[in-house]
Each structure stands twice: as C-alpha cells, then as structure tokens.
A and B are shown apart, each in its own frame.
Chain A
Amino acid sequence: MTSLTEPGTALYQFLVWLQASPLGEAMRHSGVWSYGVVNLVHNLGVASLFGAVLILDLRLLGVWKKVSVAALGEVTSPIALTGFLVAVVAGVCMICTNATDYAGNPFLLIKFPAILAGFANAVILNRQTAWRQRRTRDFSPVERRRLAWLGGVSLACWLTAISAGRMIGYW
C-alpha cells in the first residue's frame, strides 16, 4: 500500500509539486518557529472539530437525551466547521514544508481517506430530512436509528483520521 506514494507514482509527483509550491517555499523560509506555530494552529483546529463532533455524535448515539439535538447542533455545527477549515489550512501549510518526506508513510494513506469519509458523512447527515427538520419536530424511531448510525460512523472516521495523523511523525 505504501508504494502508492513512493517515487515514480502520481501521488509522489503531487508531493513534489506541493513542496515546490510558493507556500512550501514560504514555510521553509519563515523562521525557526513557523512550523511549530502552524502545528499549534492545526491542533487547535482539530481540537475544536473533534470536541464539537464528539458531543453531537454522542447525542445522536443516545447520550444526554434531555438535551435537544437542535440545541446541540446550534452550538456544535459552527465550531466543527470552523475547526475543520482551520485544520485544513494549517495542515496544507505543514505538509507543503517538506512534502516528499512523507512518501511511503502508511499513515498518510489512512488519514486522508478517513478525512474524506468523515466529511462525506457530515454532508450526508446535513441532507437528511430528519436532520433538516430537527428544529420543528421529533424524530421517528427509524430516523433516530439512522442518525445514530451517522453519528457512530462520524466518530469512527474522525478518531481514525486523528490517530493516523498523530502517528505520521512516529513512522
């Protein structure tokens, strides 16, 4: 599997392109603390995303039934979206710095599909009729079960993405 990003592949060419980009160039020449600071911003983004997602997903899974899904969604959705965007921007800066260093790193190939799956799952949740009508009515048992599944899948995706992301540096 790791051969997908070894030299000679299209993904490796993409890493070369990222590293040669003006962003990569800027990251490498912006002082000895820039990478650490960008890494901090990335972590704050991930913490906001996962904190918000954890609360909403546990609610969809049936915890804190006394709190309405609509009320929780009001709080968690904007935090999750903002955290996601911050993490993406900072993450792109980080990978561009020395992109080819990650060639052959298996955790990269776990992390990015997990992010895509987590994002797709969030889009699917937002398109559910039940979810869109959460402010005006209660869910049927069937809908509740479907939303619980979406919550569970979401948790699995983001936990996988974060775990694999953390392990990239330990490979």
Chain B
Amino acid sequence: MKLHRNMLLGITLVAALLALPALPALAHHGWGGNQDVEFELTGTLVKQVSLAGPHATMQLKDDKGQLWDITLAPPARTDRAGLKESTIPMGATVKVHGHRNSNMKKFEIKTERVTWEGKTFNVYPDRT
C-alpha cells in the first residue's frame, strides 16, 4: 500500500472539518449529564471545600437530611473565585445555584454560584 502525501493531508483536513461541529459541545464538558433548568439548594455544610482535581467539591445536607455532592469549578478557578478550603466553616448555611444531575437518584449539583453570609462566589461567572 502506498499512501500519497496529498491523500494523507486530505484525510487529515476532512477529519478536522468533521470534528469542528463537536467543538462547542466539548467546550464545557461534563454538563451533558445535568439538567438544563437552573437549580437552587440551601443546606448545611457537612464537608468543607476540597480543592482537589479534577473539580473542587463540597457536601451539603438539606433540611430533610439528604446529602448533596456539590461539584464546583476546577481547583485553581474555584480558588480564584475566592473559595478556599477553609473559607466556609462547617455547619454554615450555604446556598448553591447550578444544575442538578439528570439522574434523579443522584444528589449532585454542578455549581455556578455559591452564596454564604451575603458573599457570592462565582465559580463559573460566564454561566448564568
């Protein structure tokens, strides 16, 4: 088999063009599994912010005793939004705004904003 150089170039270009429409979808990964509607939850902080990868996290408990996994932005971005590991103390009342996991058996929220004592941490400022 002899592959002509122009043929290889052509194949690469076609593949690149075909991949283009996928770009906007991939620009923000991991949100496909979450509902499109905005979701808000107020709860008590039972696990403080962890700035570990791939995404910073914390855990809230709602008034019915349900535990919620709160997914924040990547660690460096969450940190830049002012949300450090010890910023919010355990037991504090925290409000989060974001998108709930589409699987209703999963109590997980991908979070855009965190509000605590009147302070707002915009971990994803360019999302609403």
Contacts and interface: CB of A to CB of B under 8 A. Distances in A.
Interface in A56-83: 61-63
Interface of B: 1-3, 26, 29-30, 32-33, 50-54, 57, 74-76, 78-79
A169 B53 contact: no
Interface residues of A, number: 19
Interface stretch (A10-18, A29-37, A125-133, A139-147): A29-37
A97 B53 contact: yes
A98 B5 CA distance: 45
Interface in A7-45: 27-29, 32-36, 38-39
A34 B76 CA distance: 10
Given A27-B53, A61-B1, A98-B54, A170 B79 contact: no
Given A32-B75, A32-B76, A63 B51 contact: no
Contacts of B53: 27, 34-36, 38-39, 94, 97-98
A27 B1 CA distance: 48
